[in-house]
A and B are shown apart, each in its own frame.
Chain A
């Protein structure tokens, strides 16, 4: 293991539990490299995750870590950030965790524009529980609960988070790992709610059922189907079917929740001391 990475990992917990070719380790290392670039201290940084294969990532990271319940990582993270606005708070969540059971929390964390960076590990499937389709499974893809193909339309989570009020929204892939790392770093730096959808690979449950049985197949799939956001803007919706639009969708400055809260407390300090 690279010495630089080693300093941020609970190395006694390695090798990790993820399957051969699973992309979760690629995203986890990208997050750590982004933190290293920024020079953040481990003591001032908190990782919060929900439940799923991807949500196990904080268990390997030598930071303050909180492994919570399915879909609720943002709720715990909001509590941490409100209590200690000085800490850097990062949420790791799966596509099911973030968009299905935790979808409402995602909307409201974005709406508040609270200074939390959410990294959604999108493997297009529920990995941990055996390959049920998720709201981010492509239409017509196969899953253990979609043996004839997924009838649902795919959720564009980046557009949802953008509409809900976030400050930074981007999508990258594990194939394009350097741009992904840069997106994560930008999201971490951003004061406000940041959302990075990291396309990752589940060869075991998504890949095997969709003629992409290995990590290598899934990285090739990402490479062959990724379309930069600038090019996608000139394409018709039909041309974009089945494509992965990558790049930065939103990067703006807006009032941040804990700062607004702090200001209110200051403004009403006199009223409060009279209590």
Chain B
């Protein structure tokens, strides 16, 4: 499945036009939900593992991550 297809159903969305490939969201996700693509842009690889802790969104320096729904929801 491509990340685009996934984004419709996952709680996490990465805005590729804003992502600068810093790796912060990937490094600090407690559930290894995110991975880097060939260009080091973050992709949502394991959406089913996401606990919606929002740390990826809060620590993204480029406002590129959106976590939908409430914590633990």
Contacts and interface: CB of A to CB of B under 8 A. Distances in A.
A26 B24 CA distance: 11
A214 B62 CA distance: 15
B22 A16 contact: no
Contacts of A172: none
A9 B23 contact: no
B43 to A, nearest CB: 16
A216 interface: yes
Nearest to A178: B58
A29 B20 contact: no
Contacts of B24: 21, 215-216, 219
Given A1-B18, A15-B18, A216 B27 contact: yes
17 contacts: A1-B64, A2-B65, A15-B62, A18-B61, A19-B20, A20-B20, A21-B22, A25-B62, A26-B60, A29-B58, A29-B60, A177-B55, A177-B58, A177-B59, A216-B28, A219-B24, A219-B59
B10 to A, nearest CB: 15
Interface in B1-50: 15, 17-18, 20-24, 27-28
A258 interface: no
A24 B60 CA distance: 10
Interface of B: 15, 17-18, 20-24, 27-28, 55, 57-66
B7 to A, nearest CB: 14
A187 interface: no
Contacts, number: 68
Contacts of A175: 59
Contact of B22 (A3, A14, A178, A216): A216
Given A2-B66, A20-B21, A214-B22, A219 B58 contact: no
Nearest to B26: A216
Given A25-B63, A26-B59, A14 B28 contact: no
A23 interface: yes
* Most interface-central of A5, A29, A30 (chain B CB within 10 A): A29
Contacts of B28: 216, 219
Contacts of A26: 58-61
Interface centre among B24, B28, B58, B63 (most CB of A within 10 A): B63
A35 interface: no
Nearest to A2: B66
A215 B23 contact: yes
Contacts of B63: 1-2, 5, 9, 14, 25, 29
B18 A24 contact: no
Q: Which among B57, B59, B64 has the greatest number of chain A C-beta atoms within 10 A?
A: B59
A1 B66 contact: yes
